[in-house]
Chain A
Amino acid sequence: MSEKADQIFVLLQHWLVSLLPAGWQQPGGVVLAVLVIICLFPALFALAVWMERKGLGRIQNRLGPNRVGPFGLLQPIADGIKSLTKEDIVPRSADAAVHFLAPVVLVVTVFMGFAVLPMGRNMVLADMDAGLLFYFAMGASTELAVFMAGWSSRNKYSLLGAMRAVAQMISYEVVLLLSSVAVVMMSGSLSLTRIVEAQNHYSWGLPHWYIFTPWGCAGFVMYAIAATAETNRSPFDLPEGESELVAGYHTEYSGFKFALFFLGEYLAMFSISGLGTTLFLGGWSAPFSWLGWVPSWIWFFAKLMLSIFVFIWMRGTLPRLRQDQLMNFAWKFVLPMCLLNLLVAGLWRFMGDGWPRWVVCSAILVLAYVGMGWGEMRRKHFGARSYRYAE
């Protein structure tokens, strides 16, 4: 019974495809899966927009939207109608072709990233041997779309925002890749389905997710930092800093194209959280072995929504980092920690089972973190902390 519930979408796909004539069955299956992804993730995007506005509102001690529907649940629909019916203004001196293509390229490359995520047992659109490499290739193409948007608007603020965004995305792309390489090393494959299967084992009821190992925990933290920077979310959102650059590289966009950028940003958040759960949080595997009866796709989407919640929480809580602070952080702190993490992962593998490897690996990582932090902070001089309260 739980096996049927687990595979319900796969069985549904097989049944629908069997209604087609024999020659069309294989492409029909693929087209069906693609349609499901194209319809499902924008629906989740609407939910995430609502979560963000309500969540940020509550963090900032206010209510958030509550007029359109119960608890403001129909607010995303109202936003969608507004975006689609607004006038699409293109500046006269803007480069029309590139200005039009930029949001299209962004959304297309972000959607391509979803093709390799395993959303449940046997529920991956394209089980490629080099799935992770494909995902990063698509992520690298998004940077070009951002640049196209900023340059084609012929606006100094847009260009500045675009260059900042691209510089930031390139720096943190390196961190993203290196923290994933540790996972690839330990699971022995670039294929995301095999990485999830390598984590789907339990000892004493607890799962073998990579986040529960010292190198996996450090890797996950660095991956999360890099993911926040890659999607230009706070605290790394200077490229679209609302108080500084108007709207950064999408200043000159209005109406549907702006909605496409918004969609692209949230979809990138979903896809990078999906990859993070696949690499470190065990993908579709349940947290405890006795919870194995719950369908696998429920676990994947639960972990995904949890990551989105953490993104929203970080946005509401942490102050923004300045561009040079952000780049310094990436190149001088996170990157050396990533390289050390690779070393520690190798040490973990070759020290064999038992408690010594836990102690040694954790000690190396903690000492490096504390040591580098102390080294960086020593050069900065802070005065005594002062508090100001609203009168």
Chain B
Amino acid sequence: MSVVFYLLAALTVAGGLAAVMLKNTVHCALALTVAFAGLALFFLDLDAQFAGFAQILVYIGAVAILVVFAILLTKGSETPKDGVYSRNWLAGLAIAAGVFAVLGWAVLQSARVLPGPGGTPTATPEVTVKEIGNALMGRYVLPLEIVALLLTAALIGAVIVAMHEKEGAK
């Protein structure tokens, strides 16, 4: 396994761990941004340039800022007096550990059983933005339109849900 892979894996997993373990909520959001950046670099390592840049643009440029704004608007940066972990934290941790055990076992088993195309990569695909555009307008035009509708609905819905209610209306 190459050095680049280990570095990126360390960065991403460290970011993820910090995002769920730190006390200060804004620090968690910033650690999440580091995890997003690590993932974008993974995508670039896997020759998926469009997905990598879209990940940076959407996740770091929009979702991270959204999370940070929500933290500020809900006064989340004050440390709660009862501690940051919920009462049933042990059960949650056990479930997560169980899920990782199952997934890890499945991955390692399949690597041993199917040593063929799973281990070695194919030749670098010639993915240009032109081909992605053609695919989006040709084979995937229906999902594209549906995602457009979904985004519009989410936009309007989020604004309505978070808007101040008028006084007296219920």
Contact = CB atoms under 8 A, between A and B. Distances in A.
Interface of A: 98, 128-130, 133-134, 136-141, 143-144, 147-148, 151, 159, 163, 166, 170, 173, 188-191
A130 B57 contact: no
Contacts of A141: 56, 60-61
A190 B33 CA distance: 26
Interface string B55-89: 01100111011001100100001000000000000
A138 B52 CA distance: 12
B61 A140 contact: yes
Interface of B: 26-27, 30, 33, 49-50, 53-54, 56-57, 60-62, 64-65, 68-69, 72, 77, 128-130
Contact of B30 (A133, A148, A166, A188): A148
Contacts of B61: 137, 139-141, 143-144, 173
Q: What is the interface of chain B mostly: helix, strand, loop, or mixed?
A: helix
Most A-side CB within 10 Å, residue of B50, B68, B130: B68
Contacts of A191: 129
Nearest to B72: A163
Contacts of A129: 49, 128-129
A148 B68 CA distance: 10
B65 A147 contact: yes
Contacts of A130: 49-50, 53, 129
Nearest first, the 6 A-B pairs at minimum CB distance are A140-B61, A137-B56, A137-B57, A133-B53, A137-B53, A190-B129
Q: What is the interface of chain A mostly: helix, strand, loop, or mixed?
A: helix
Contact of A128 (B49, B65, B69): B49
Contact of A166 (B26, B49, B57, B65): B65
Contact of A133 (B50, B62, B65): B50
Contacts of B60: 137, 140-141, 144
6 contacts: A130-B129, A137-B54, A141-B60, A144-B61, A163-B72, A190-B129
Contacts of A133: 50, 53-54, 57, 129
Given A147-B65, A147-B68, A140 B56 contact: yes
A144 B53 contact: no
A159 B69 CA distance: 11
B29 to A, nearest CB: 9
B75 to A, nearest CB: 12
Contacts of A138: 56
Most A-side CB within 10 Å, residue of B27, B60, B129: B129
B30 A143 contact: no
Contacts of A173: 61
Contacts of B27: 98
